[in-house]
Amino acid sequence: MDQSTLDRLRKELEDERQQQLDVLESHGADPYGEEVKDLQIANEGFADSAQATEERSEILALIDAARNRLAQVERALTSMDEGTYGVCESCGQQIQDARLEARPLSVRCVDCASKS
């Protein structure tokens, strides 16, 4: 992969990292731990408790997804720093540039990904 493509993918990943951090911050969630400080759910009374529980579950699922995505992005950025970005973690072969451009978080080549 040429340096300009790598630089562009790094910028996309850094932007994605900031987006995930912003999502987590907006919900009062620690990006690197389990703590959620400000889980604000309107609970007007017993009749609304089912709705509040559903809202809480949705927000916690969103937080979990953002934390997982953040971990994937940081893993990709670390592999860029270490010079191992684009190497399949299963077979050790180079992941095709087209795959990385389509899915910058790919850690397996097409062949290995299709086997799992």
> pLDDT by residue (tens digit) across 28-60?
999 999 888 876 665 555 556 777 788 889 999
> pLDDT by residue (tens digit) across 6-16?
999 999 999 99
Tell me the three state secondary structure of residue 63.
Answer: helix
The rounded distance, in Å, linking the Cα atoms of 40 and 55 is 10
pTM: 0.86
| DSSP for residue 87 | B
